[in-house]
Amino acid sequence: MKAFLLLLTVATSCSGTVFNISGEAVLKYVDDAKYLVYETNDGFYEVEDLSAPDSELSVLSATESDITFHFFSQSNHNGVQIKKSQLRNIVRLTGFNVSIETLVVIHGWKNDHTSAVNDQIKNAVLQNNNINVIVVDWNPIARQKYIRARRAVVRVGNYKETFLIRLDNELQHRLKKVSIVGHSLGAHVAGNAGARTGGLVENIIGLDPAGPFTRRNINNRLDPTDARYVQVIHTNDGRLGFGVKSGHVDYYPNGGRSQPGCGTDLLGRCAHRRAYNYYAESINNNKFMSRLCSKYSSFTSNRCNSNRASLMGGFPISRSANGNYYLRTNSKPLFARG
């Protein structure tokens, strides 16, 4: 097979180096934890050096111009944008109902409020649930280079936490009525928001939390202390996913690293997205039956068939499971096997 090599330097600064590369040359970077490789719309691969220092970090902050909130309900599928400064008028401006539950959805890197993760989850949950849905758009930060977006998750989470606390204090919309679902970097934003409330948010659902983050330092990533109950779905561990147990219960569809129907999936993007594909499907058709097991090889060898069973995902999620659970899925919708 002919190999192609084309390097185009597109950005070089004290905050790191990003370059585009094409063809088989990308293979040397894919499995190196020092780099993040991302496919661009023009068919190239963007490579970012994650070990580079970022002296510009101090100027990156989470402000009202960086983060907006988009409200949806069963009577308002089109959505209403609201900023934190307008929160006192959220009922009048959006129809927010303080007496019912709220699901907060947080997208990941390079995404915004129009991205598929938000639409799939929002549409699924409003089909049969009379709840408030708030989609958090932090695209002005999320579209930055990955190293900067990753380092900003604490600030974005803190900004989101003040929004939730004000809902509690000023409108008496209690934190026990709030669940947060976040994908990729959004899962860590959710964790930081929950941590700042003292872990009083009722549920956090982490959808393939992004890597790399440090294993021991839980102060900037999702962990079980961030909410009363934390459920995590792993679909691309070791590549775009974090690969570390992060919840009270962690689910590993198809082993948690690669997913059927994704082909070679060189960069893991398909498997990474499957986390929210599975969760959205589970909301109205939860047949994602899993088994408590020590590892995937034991599960596939049928050594865990008599172990405790649990349904992955759903809304509201089941809070009875604890530990690591494994399951298989189909290669295309409907993904759940039952």
Domains of the chain: 7-53 (no CATH), 58-327 (3.40.50.1820)
Tokens 């570390």 belong to 244
Using the structure block, give the residue that is written with the tokens 């002296």. Answer: 55
Determine the Cα–Cα distance for residues 108 and 222; give it in Å rounded to an integer: 14
**pLDDT for position 9:** 30
Lowest mean pLDDT among 144-153, 181-190, 228-237: 144-153
Q: What percent of the chain shows pLDDT beyond 70?
A: 91
Mean pLDDT of the 315-336 span? 97
The average pLDDT across 130-147 equals: 95
As a whole number, mean pLDDT of residues 141-148 equals: 92
Q: Which residues fall within 8 angstroms of residue 336, CB to CB, at 6 or more apart?
A: 278, 281, 282, 285, 286, 287, 288, 289, 329, 330
Q: Which of these ranges, 55-64, 103-112, 206-215, has the smallest mean pLDDT? A: 55-64
Check pLDDT > 90 for residue 58: no
State the Cα torsion 204-248-323-186 to the nearest 10°. 40
Q: What is the pLDDT of residue 26?
A: 79
Average pLDDT over residues 62-68: 93
The confidence score (pLDDT) of residue 3 equals 29
| Residue 114 pLDDT greater than 60, yes or no | yes
Q: How confident is the model at residue 60 (pLDDT cuts 50, 70, 90)?
A: low
Question: Annotated catalytic sites, by residue?
Answer: 184, 208, 272
pLDDT for the residue 22:
65
For the ranges 3-12, 96-105, 153-162, 177-186, which has the lowest average pLDDT? 3-12
pLDDT of residue 158: 95
In 3D, which of 29, 69, 3 has the Cα closest to residue 266? Answer: 29
Q: pLDDT value at position 270?
A: 97
Q: Which residues pair with 290 in a beta bridge?
A: 310
| Residues whose CB falls within 8 Å of the CB of residue 27, separated by 6 or more in sequence, listed in order | none
pLDDT at 186 over 70: yes
Mean pLDDT score of the chain, rounded to an integer? 90
C-alpha angle with apex 199: 173 to 225, nearest 5 degrees? 155
pLDDT of residue 214: 64
In the prediction, which pLDDT does 11 show? 33
Does 100 score more than 90 pLDDT? yes
Average pLDDT over residues 122-142: 97
Task: State mean pLDDT over 126-130.
Answer: 98
Average pLDDT over residues 39-43: 75
In the Cβ-directed half-sphere of 26, how many Cα atoms lie within 13 Å?
Answer: 21
